[in-house]
């Protein structure tokens, strides 16, 4: 983004700013004495708002209560939640709340209380929403227009989780446009546009105007499928747009979260190009995004190049919390400005840019900030922008005095008007409440805090300048997630996943796929004692999407090579164990660098060898990198002896040391990550490794050889012995020179390994240790008050992501009470929207399962499930390959096989529970304890789940797959595992033995002086 | 001690103090310009001293080098150590050291360097030691007397580790007294005593005077055997005293460390009573002991009561470091004053007391402190003490100017004169160096720091008064060994072992034994689900010292009772697991209180049921208490969820939870401690326990039932099912409802349990976890430079304590190089001194082994060892019971069975190693890795051991048994265990499964404000 500091460098800035301040002061005088209803303390809403301004805890609870409120269908549920949300608030409570809490305690009053609260919240909603029905909306619009304001109408909606829902949403707009056409006849044009119904507002603007979110028109938007997503949105948008053109209406493409920005711009440009003659199409741009400067410049250039005038609704942006959280959670650069002043300054900069291009661009300035408004007015004047090339927009219900003063002074004011039932509109309502109660909200500062005019009108660029402190960059340190490490390494941070919203990342992935395709069909030797070792026998590794396609030929280890590998590991052990822990860690860091440099290619191999989708494959590589980086740091921490409690004259230290030869037997479903995790843990702790990859992913496994060779790991420390048969694995497990076995895979195989390894033979010098991650039968509980907009996609991704082939996958969903029907219906609709096809093509949500054996097993389970219960839903699947249709089973009881046995495929059993407690019981009632999830907005139920949902990894209000190293140490117990936690602070200990060294440091009764300090 | 503040309350104090200060100032003037040779920087010794005064690190290294020096028999060893001790000293080094370090680098110079250093250290020694031979000593004494001083002669000696050595030491005194008689003829009496050889010094004092340490006259002094120890010392002391009486000489009983105080006083009183007519017997009393006030009063009263005048040598005390360290290590009250001023004030108080009793008591004031000397003079004047009722004593070589001024002003000065070869005298030398370089040494202050007279002469009582700050007591907090706990509990401190130097503790133990004897022969039921459960079949538990004596009859569990116990545990589990962690911990604390209140009785049971000696049994009970207290605190720590790294909008917590029913199978050798450790760990973590005690100690095990019942532990949480056969244990291990098995015992049984538990059956919901401590074949390495005074007792207690029946016992000693012969000889002598008999009688060092089977096994190993190598030494053992003679095997090689198999009895194999590296290899060359030890004073070798002596618990320069909870988390690996560490911070984790709970705390993109702070 070019940061042109227009108007400042040429000395004109001071004059301009003075004019802006003067105009702002003038506007402020026009407002004097008025307050928006939200800030009027004599009104109910104003009192609640006032209280939440002063009490952050109450504000949080209130917002959460408002959020859950629509899901509270009974008065009992309502009074329960009221108690849970506010029952333990410390300090004084506002009067209405005190009253409500009192009422909630009397059971007789519950229905009455419910009515009062519903009424109050609806009141609150009506503040911002013009009507819950089209009829009521038309009435409000008439009133608005009669008051002299234009409008842009937006339909509030629940999140679109399926194509059916997207279709329905589009249908609502069609109805709305029809109704608007009907109503338009009664609306005279606004000032300057003549009186007849054909006349345009202000002489140029259509009276009918709608705003629309692209994400509501397609449920399968995936950044990696950029072109496909744009096209899918357009498919539904075109008919609406044509209908609107017929009605001579205007449309604005709303800008949503950053993830959709590219797609929204893509949709806008495509539509603009397809209908070049129709100019009333605009797009919202958000000033708080760091990208927006470049985006606006790009759009203006595009407009000029193609001769297509554009309309830009310039807003500040309403997803700030969300963007910050999402970026921080993914380790991406934060896309928004983090200082309010930066956004305000950007707004002025961008407004100026658009106003200066008034020949091709029309500006709708969406802001309630008087300084920003004054800036737009003065910038327009300076740029000689004609008055028919810009307007102001404010939100309905938000800042009536601002709207009035704009109407008085400027005239061209459009209200952004959401309509629709309050319940699905809650998300919007919460966002508005948030905006109004944010610390830096201009309205709050102006109307509630009474900030003085000088401060309100100060040039935001000034504040930005001040904040540009060279020391500010060190703040980065503070945001490190991990505790400060003992070494010089920077704190651990997760490898950010590929961000496919970025074109360059999509391009790199495509190129990597092409590169890998050129390498297919090669032969891969074993790797023993630092050298390649070919064998005669080879096996083909094939593409699950096309089993006739050979990815490569892999040499097969026999007993003799297994012996060689163990001998190599054994003889390397003594030196490796004695190698300094930091040095060992440094090899991991080098290997991490290798993987990072090749992360697109490594992901591409997974797409082809095991059928992982782009994002899933990228996440696997990122996790492999995480393991290396995390365990390297953990070893730095554990590598130095730790002082234990020691009285004077005595020094007690604890330390850890390697056990010997570790055999690593890896699965195919996280072919790089889990292999890398087990191998790197064994290596960094000082063990030497014999690694047997899964026969389905030996080539991905082979890349670990490259990574460690590249890191110059000493010969013999890491040995690679692929083999198709179980025989080699058993031989390794039984070998008397093996001290540790790390395994991840099925429970059957795991239990067999545990049993075999426990037999200590003559000549063995150690009891073998098994580190073992096994299967799961993971459940998600959908509570009655769950947010289905989040629960449905959460279950979907948990159950069907990578075809359900994760040990963490959800295979049971337990639905509490009355929400069952609506949940299952939305879930089925969502499942139906998932397309199956080769993972190479990002258009497909799902791909093939691992191999033919897996397919047969899963299909037979579906048959069993259909007998035990019934198939509620089955999707479509391409014929003749390893595809299994997405399947949802209903009427499943806890005793059924499909509720007890791990299926490891895209099959989900739905179960009912009358109460949350029953759901917990059912969730716990298997032999497994790996992952689990709960969607609930009841604090009590969440607490009960924390306590009693007994699984290794429990997730509250999110999907249950995708545990991240460091943040969600992963692993289960019961028959899911031995209680180890991969990617956690205790994991490395399993690969070592603890030692304690006690030294008597007294000599002839004499100890160093410091030891005797404070002897009392 | 009555703290009579004599002379202060009656207003006389100010006058007295003024007189003392005036006299002191006068004495100081007499000293002006003079310096003791130690502080003369133009002398070699003075320079080294000067350097060590300014550099604490150098001082420490120098003292340690002086300590190891006598053991450096070759010039190669000497130059090696020189490099190791001083090679890496940072900063400037004193000239001589720089020169020596340079010389040490040239191999040719080594022999020359050795000579120089030996010469220098001998020079240093000669400063304090009057002669290495009797002949030279007599010469020095003649010189001393010719200078006008009297003397008291003391023979320096190595520690007495055997009766042979004690005998030899007594023999040296006999020779010395003979030689003194011979020399006395040439010595005229000192001033005031006339000229003839029959005349007494100063008219009343014999010229011949010796000082003598009781501990040198008996190798088996044990506080619990108080009367026996006093009598044993007297047996060797009487003939010497009679010889001295014949020579008309005087004797002073030296006071050594606090542990011997009671015995020294006992010896003094006994001897004084036996020879009432001979008055020239005195005893040293140490002003730094808090007890000494009471002791002196008691002695004066005793003297008056029996009409036996006494002589008191009042000193300040020379074992301050040692006393503080020993008390801190044992958790006992520190017996010495911790402020120097307190000691100085006590000295004046005590001197006054003796001087006032001049009719029956004679005072020898041993001090170099001018203030103290002045005080004695003025107190004597005030008490009108005749000049023939007190004298002054100073140490030979320490403070020549003080001696001179005393001689000038007072006349009656006696030098305390050590004699003997420098090598065994090193301990004395180190103590003297220490004294002279201590921060608060009066000599240092006066001669080196140049402190002014006002400060030097200040009344110490004044400083004491000032220090009595009420806040001083909070300093206690700072000395807590453990990290601050998360709960309100005070930090963990080990239960102090019984202190048998205290008469009341000896009495309580004797009473407890008598009480237990009255309870013998009772019948003990099982304990299931909170109730006693009798069975028909009972088995006798007997006294190993007398197998015909039945300790009690114990009901035997069959399968039906095992099932009941498991059912009880299973049904109690759900509630117990859900019980708050702090509440669970509180039961342990209550049980600890119960054990603490009954600790003497519980120890007494062990004496009778399994043959533990008093101290061993007390330590076992203390350890049981430690486990309860420590695990309670650990659970408090682990009981709260721990926040993991969490980005905004996400909360990750890790927590732990119980696994289910735990079976605890306990050994007999630590019958209460190990049982209690395993049981309490299982219980506090939320598991329910089925406990099977060893069939040899079921009654001790039954006391856990009482402890937990007393604590009101809920029914079913702890169940007690004794049984003699292995069948019950196997049944419990195989049971499908069992989730965890904690076992401590032999490797054979342990491996069998591991194997059985690893088989997961149909219907089992968990993989069983085994927590397993097994055997050892522990070695101690004796390096060539080892301090044998410490190594011999260290090996002795490690190998033969409790008859070698500890998994931590030393069963191999590996001796490096040339030290072999002298080590083995001293070791055999020490072993020969150990008497075997019933543990009830504290006169015996060792007792019977556990039972007849154990005896047969051990005896057959001795046979094997005699064939593989040869029996070097075999002690005597009572016939016909479970006694096994202490046996030392020689010529043992690493391949021998007795070097590889656990014997578990009082049998020690001695092996040779040419180098330290070879010793390490041999130490590691077994299938076990439990404990190990090294006696070495080579920093490099100690470091090599830390790195490569691969055992669970390694001890440097101390015995290898007696690991303490918290300080030495205990347990081994290889075939010694699974790498768990009882009494360590990770132990409880083995009884739990880890869980991670991840919560998405964002709702509609909104997170609480605090979560977004510093988003950059």
Q: What is the mean pLDDT of chain B?
A: 91
Residues of B in contact with A1014 (CB under 8 A): 475, 478-479
Cβ–Cβ < 8 Å for A224, A500: yes
Q: Which of A755, A995, A1008 to mutate to test the interface with B (most CBs of B within 10 A)?
A: A995
Strand ranges (DSSP E) for A378-519?
Answer: 390-395, 413-419
Among the residue ranges A84-98, A115-129, A342-356, B159-173, the one predicted with the least confidence is A84-98
Check B767 against A751: CB less than 8 A apart.
yes
The minimal CB distance from B648 to the residues A328, A954, A1003 is found for A328
Lowest-confidence region among A501-510, A879-888, B728-737: A879-888
* Residue A555 annotated as catalytic: no
B70 — pLDDT class (breaks 50, 70, 90)? confident
| Ramachandran quadrant class, B410 (left: phi over 0; alpha: psi -120 to 50; beta: rest) | alpha
Yes or no, beta carbons of B334 and A1015 under 8 Å apart: yes
Sign of CA dihedral A847, A848, A849, A851: negative
Q: Please report how the helices B75-86 and B95-105 are oriented relative to each other, as an axis angle in degrees rounded to 10.
A: 130
> How do residues B527-567 score in pLDDT, each as one tens digit?
999 999 999 999 999 999 999 999 999 999 999 999 999 99
User: CA distances (Å), B611 to each of B222, B523, B798, B903, B937, in order?
Assistant: 18, 20, 17, 18, 36
| pLDDT above 70: percentage of residues in chain B | 92
The pLDDT of residue B95 is 65
Of A766, A956, A996, the CB nearest to B999: A956
Q: What angle do CA B521, B523, B529 make, to 5 degrees?
A: 150
- CA angle at B568 for the pair B565 and B570, rounded to the nearest 5°: 110
Kindly name the residue from A807, A810, A840, A902 that is annotated as catalytic: A807
A13-49 pLDDT per residue, tens: 569 999 999 999 999 998 877 777 777 766 667 777 7
| pLDDT bracket for residue A724 (50, 70, 90) | confident
Rounded mean pLDDT, B726-750: 95
> What per-residue confidence (pLDDT) applies to B34?
79
Q: Taking CB atoms and an 8 Å limit, are A765 and B993 in contact across chains? A: no
pLDDT in tens, B581-636: 999 999 999 999 999 999 999 999 999 999 999 999 999 999 999 999 999 999 99
Instruction: Please tell me the predicted confidence (pLDDT) of residue B48.
Output: 73
Of all residues in chain A, the one with the smallest CA distance to B331 is A647
User: Average pLDDT, stretch B932-958?
Assistant: 97
Cβ neighbourhood burial of A330 (10 Å; 0-12, 13-18, 19+)? middle
Per-residue confidence (pLDDT) for residue B119, from 0 to 100 = 81
pLDDT confidence of residue A6: 44
Closest CA to B272 of B217, B232, B310: B310
* Minimum mean pLDDT range among A87-96, B412-421, B968-977: A87-96
Of residues B152, B249, B136, B142, the one with CA closest to residue B188: B142
**What value does the mean pLDDT take over residues B441-457?**
82
Stretch among A464-478, A596-610, A711-725 having the lowest mean pLDDT: A464-478
To the nearest whole percent, how much of chain B has pLDDT over 90? 76
Confidence of residue B122 (pLDDT cuts 50, 70, 90): confident
- Range of lowest pLDDT (A112-126, A229-243, B666-680, B871-885): A112-126
Q: What pLDDT score was predicted for residue A394?
A: 94
The pLDDT of residue B637: 94
Of B129, B26, B28, the residue nearest B402 (C-alpha) = B28
**Residue A384: what pLDDT?**
97
Cross-chain CB nearest to A324 (options B328, B979, B1012): B1012
**B391, B629, B636, B773: the active-site residue:** B773
**Residue pointed to by tokens 């010089």:** A488
> Looking at the partner chain, which of B648, B1006, B1016 has a beta carbon nearest the beta carbon of A472?
B1016
Give the pLDDT confidence score for residue B104 in this predicted structure.
64
Catalytic, A378? Answer: no
Question: B954 contacts in A (CB within 8 Å)?
Answer: 995-998
**Candidate from A295-304, B260-269, B484-493 with smallest mean pLDDT:** B484-493
A981/B1002 touch (CB, cutoff 8 Å), yes or no? no
Residue A19's pLDDT is 96
* Pick from B101-110, B776-785, B793-802: least confident: B101-110
CB contact under 8 A, B973 and A966: no
Res A789 pLDDT > 50: yes
Which pLDDT band, with edges at 50, 70 and 90, does B475 fall under? very low
pLDDT over 70 at A92, yes or no: no
Mutation target to probe the B interface, by most B beta carbons within 10 A, among A651, A757, A767 is A767
| Position A7 confidence tier, pLDDT thresholds 50, 70, 90 | very low
- Point out the residue among A430, A952, A993 whose CB comes nearest to the CB of B979: A993
Written as six digits, the tokens of B431 are 């103590």
Q: What is the DSSP string of B843-892?
A: T-SB---S-HHHHHHHHHHHHHHHHHSEEEEE----SSSS----EEEES-
pLDDT number for residue A685: 98
> Of B211, B372, B226, whose CA–CA distance to B287 is shortest?
B372
> At B504, is the pLDDT very low, low, confident or very high (cuts 50, 70, 90)?
very high
- DSSP secondary structure, B682-735, as one string: HHHTT-EEEEE--TTSHHHHHHHHHHHHHTTPPTTSEEE---SSHHHHHHHHH-
| Rounded Cα–Cα distance for residues A633 and B647 (Å) | 19
Q: Quick one: pLDDT at residue A478? A: 38
Residue A51 pLDDT greater than 90, yes or no = no
Which residues in chain A have Cβ-Cβ distances shorter than 8 Å to B578? 947-948
Q: What is the CB-side half-sphere exposure of residue A658 using CA atoms within 13 A?
A: 29
Chain A residue with minimum CA distance to B960: A998
Average pLDDT over residues A536-560: 96
Q: What is the mean pLDDT of residues B788-810?
A: 97
Q: Is the pLDDT of residue A588 over 50?
A: yes
Dump strand ranges (E) for A685-733: 688-692, 718-720
- Do residues B741 and B757 touch, judged by C-beta distance below 8 A? yes
Residues in chain A closer than 8 A to B757 (CB atoms)? 758
Give the distance, in angstroms, between the CA of residue B621 and the centroid of all CA atoms in the same chain.
18
Instruction: Please report the pLDDT score of residue A126 as a whole number.
Output: 84
pLDDT tens-digit profile of A570-584? 999 999 999 999 999
Q: Please name the helix (run of DSSP H) or strand (run of DSSP E) that holds residue A293, with its range, or none.
A: helix A292-306
Residue A476 has pLDDT above 50, yes or no: no
Phi-psi region of A770 (alpha: psi -120 to 50; beta: other; left: phi over 0): beta
In this model, does residue B476 exceed pLDDT 60?
A: no
**Alpha-carbon gap, residue A598 to B880, rounded angstroms:** 78
Beta carbons of A974 and B766 less than 8 Å apart: yes
Mean pLDDT confidence for A555-576: 97
Within 8 A of A56 by CB-CB distance, chain B residues are 1008-1010
% of chain A at pLDDT higher than 90: 77
pLDDT at position A95, please? Answer: 65
3-state DSSP call for residue B523?
strand
**Residues of chain B neighbouring A478 (CB-CB closer than 8 A):** 1014
Going through A693-817 in order, the beta strands assigned E by DSSP cover: 718-720, 738-744, 769-773, 778-782, 810-816
pLDDT at B166 over 90: yes
Tell whether the model's pLDDT for residue A10 goes beyond 60: no
Minimum mean pLDDT range among A8-12, A210-214, B254-258: A8-12
Give the per-residue pLDDT at A429: 78
Q: Tens of pLDDT along B47-57?
A: 777 777 778 88
pLDDT of residue B724: 84
């Amino acid at each position: 983004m070019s940061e042109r500091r227009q108007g400042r460098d040429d000395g004109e800035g001071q004059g301009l700013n003075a004019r802006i301040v003067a105009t702002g002061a003038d506007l402020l005088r026009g407002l004097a004495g008025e307050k928006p209803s939200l800030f009027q303390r004599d009104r109910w809403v104003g009192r609640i708002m006032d209280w939440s301004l002063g009490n952050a805890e109450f504000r949080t609870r209130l917002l959460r209560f408002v959020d859950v409120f629509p899901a509270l269908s009974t008065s009992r549920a309502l009074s329960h939640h009221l108690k849970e949300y506010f029952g333990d608030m410390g300090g004084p409570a506002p009067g209405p709340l005190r009253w409500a809490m009192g009422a909630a305690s009397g059971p007789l009053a519950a229905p009455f209380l419910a009515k009062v609260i519903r009424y109050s919240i609806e009141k609150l909603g009506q503040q911002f929403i013009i009507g819950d029905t089209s009829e009521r909306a038309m009435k409000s619009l008439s009133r608005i227009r009669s008051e002299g304001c234009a409008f842009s109408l937006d339909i509030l909606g629940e999140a679109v989780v399926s194509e059916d829902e997207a279709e329905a949403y589009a249908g609502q707009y069609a109805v709305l446009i029809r109704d608007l056409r009907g109503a338009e006849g009664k609306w005279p044009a606004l000032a300057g546009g003549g009186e007849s119904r054909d006349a345009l507002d202000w002489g140029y603007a259509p009276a009918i105007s709608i705003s629309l979110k692209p994400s509501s028109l397609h449920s399968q938007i995936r950044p990696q499928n950029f072109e496909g997503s744009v096209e899918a949105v357009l498919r539904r948008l075109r008919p609406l747009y044509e209908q609107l053109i017929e009605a001579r209406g205007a449309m604005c493409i709303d800008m949503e979260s950053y993830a959709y920005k590219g797609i929204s711009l893509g949709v806008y440009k495509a539509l603009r190009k397809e209908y070049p003659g129709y100019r009333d199409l605009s797009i919202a741009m958000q000033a708080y995004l760091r990208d927006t400067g470049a985006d606006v410049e790009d759009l203006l250039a595009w407009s000029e190049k193609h001769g297509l005038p554009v309309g830009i609704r310039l807003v500040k942006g309403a997803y700030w919390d969300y963007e910050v959280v999402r970026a921080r959670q993914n380790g991406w650069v934060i896309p928004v400005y983090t200082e309010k002043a930066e956004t305000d300054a950007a707004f002025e900069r961008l407004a100026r840019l658009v106003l200066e291009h008034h020949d091709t661009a029309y500006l709708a300035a969406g802001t309630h900030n008087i300084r920003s408004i004054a800036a737009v007015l003065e910038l327009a004047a300076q740029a000689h922008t004609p008055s028919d090339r810009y307007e102001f927009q404010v939100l309905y219900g938000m800042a009536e005095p601002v709207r009035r003063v704009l109407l008085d002074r400027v005239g061209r004011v459009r209200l952004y008007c959401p309509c629709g039932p309050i319940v699905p509109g809650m998300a919007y309502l919460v966002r508005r409440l948030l905006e109004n109660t944010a610390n830096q909200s201009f309205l709050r500062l102006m109307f509630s805090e009474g900030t003085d005019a000088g401060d309100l009108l100060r040039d935001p660029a000034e504040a930005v300048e001040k904040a540009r402190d060279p020391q500010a960059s060190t703040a980065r340190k503070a945001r490190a997630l991990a505790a400060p490490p003992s070494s010089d390494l920077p704190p651990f941070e997760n490898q950010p996943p590929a961000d496919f919203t970025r074109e360059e990342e999509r391009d790199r992935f495509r190129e990597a796929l092409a590169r890998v395709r050129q390498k297919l069909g090669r032969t891969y030797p074993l790797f023993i004692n630092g050298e390649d070792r070919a064998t005669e026998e080879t096996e083909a590794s094939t593409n699950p999407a096309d089993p006739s396609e050979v990815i490569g030929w892999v040499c097969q280890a026999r007993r003799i090579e297994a012996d060689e590998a163990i001998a190599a590991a054994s003889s390397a052990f003594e030196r490796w164990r004695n190698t300094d822990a930091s040095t060992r860690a440094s090899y991991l860091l080098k290997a991490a660098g290798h993987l990072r440099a090749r992360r697109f290619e490594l992901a591409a191999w997974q797409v082809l060898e095991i059928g992982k989708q782009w994002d899933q494959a990228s996440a696997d590589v990122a996790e492999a990198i995480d393991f290396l980086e995390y365990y390297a740091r953990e070893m730095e921490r554990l590598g130095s002896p730790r002082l234990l409690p020691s009285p004077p004259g005595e020094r007690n230290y604890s330390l850890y040391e390697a056990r010997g030869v570790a055999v690593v037997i890896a699965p195919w479903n996280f072919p790089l990550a889990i292999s890398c995790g087990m191998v790197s843990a064994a290596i960094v702790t000082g063990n030497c490794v014999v690694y047997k990859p899964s026969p389905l992913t030996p080539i991905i496994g082979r890349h670990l050889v490259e990574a460690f060779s590249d890191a110059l790991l000493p010969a013999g420390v890491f040995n690679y012995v692929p083999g198709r048969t179980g025989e080699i694995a058993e031989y390794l497990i039984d070998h008397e020179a093996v001290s540790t076995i790390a395994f991840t895979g099925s429970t059957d195989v795991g239990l067999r390994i545990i049993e075999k390894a426990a037999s200590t033979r003559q000549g063995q010098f150690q009891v073998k240790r098994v580190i073992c991650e096994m299967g799961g039968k993971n459940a998600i509980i959908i509570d009655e008050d769950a947010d289905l907009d989040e629960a449905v996609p959460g279950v979907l991704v948990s159950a069907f992501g990578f075809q359900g082939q994760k040990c963490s996958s959800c295979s049971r969903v337990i639905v509490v009470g009355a929400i069952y029907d609506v949940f299952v219906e939305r879930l089925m609709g969502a499942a139906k929207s998932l397309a199956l096809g080769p993972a190479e093509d990002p258009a497909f949500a799902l791909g093939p399962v691992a191999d033919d054996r897996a397919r047969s097993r899963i299909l037979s389970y579906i048959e069993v499930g259909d007998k035990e219960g019934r198939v509620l839903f089955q999707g479509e699947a391409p014929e003749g390959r390893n595809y299994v249709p997405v399947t949802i089973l209903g009427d499943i009881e806890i005793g059924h096989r499909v509720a007890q046995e791990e299926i490891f495929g895209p099959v989900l059993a739905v179960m009912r529970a009358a109460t949350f407690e029953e759901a917990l019981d059912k969730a716990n009632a298997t032999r497994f304890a790996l992952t689990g999830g709960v969607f609930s907005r009841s604090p009590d139920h969440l607490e009960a789940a924390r306590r009693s949902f007994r699984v290794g990894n429990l997730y509250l209000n999110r999907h249950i797959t995708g545990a991240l190293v460091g943040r969600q140490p992963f692993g289960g117990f019961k028959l899911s595992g031995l209680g180890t936690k991969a990617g956690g602070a205790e994991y490395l200990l399993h690969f070592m033995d603890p030692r304690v060294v006690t030294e008597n440091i007294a000599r002839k009764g004499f100890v160093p002086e410091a030891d005797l300090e404070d002897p009392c």
